[in-house]
Amino acid sequence: MAEALARFDAVCADPAPNYPAGQLALAVSVFADHPGLRAEIAEDALAAGFRLGGTGKVADLIEGEGGPLGELILIDAPVAEASALAALSSVDVRAARAGAQLIVSTSIAALDDVFGCLDQCGPQILVEPTRAERVIALGRVLGGMPRGRVRDLTEEDRLTLLRLTEQVGQLAERLDRDAPAFRFESPTAAYRGEDASDRLVQRARPPLPDPRLIRGIIRQRQLRARFFDAGLFADPAWDILLDLAAARAEGKRVSVTSVCIASGVPPTTALRWIAQMTEAGLLERVEDVADRRRAFVALTSRAADAVARYFAELGHGSGRLV
Q: Is 291 exposed, middle or buried (0-12, 13-18, 19+ CB in 10 A)?
A: exposed
CA distance 34 to 81: 15
Q: Which CATH number fits domain 2-175: 3.30.70.1070, 3.40.50.2300, 2.60.40.740, 3.30.365.10?
A: 3.40.50.2300
The whole-number pLDDT of residue 198 equals 45
Task: List the CATH code of the domain at 199-320.
Answer: 1.10.10.10
* H/E element, 260: helix 256-263
Q: With b meaning 16 or more CB within 10 Å and e meaning fewer, what string describes 74-83? A: bbbbbbbeee
Torsion of CA 32, 126, 5, 71, to 10 degrees: -80
Contact yes or no for 273/265 (Cβ under 8 A): yes
Q: What is the pLDDT of residue 116?
A: 94
Domain ranges of the chain: 2-175, 199-320
CB burial readout 211-234, b (16+ within 10 A) else e:
bebbbbbbeebeeeeeeeeeeeee
pTM: 0.74
In the chain (322 residues long), the average pLDDT of successive 10-residue segments reads 54 48 69 93 85 87 66 93 91 90 95 94 93 85 57 51 55 52 45 45 70 86 79 82 94 95 91 92 91 89 92 70 56
Closest CA to 37 of 10, 50, 56, 16: 56
Strand partners, 102: 73
What per-residue confidence (pLDDT) applies to 303? 94
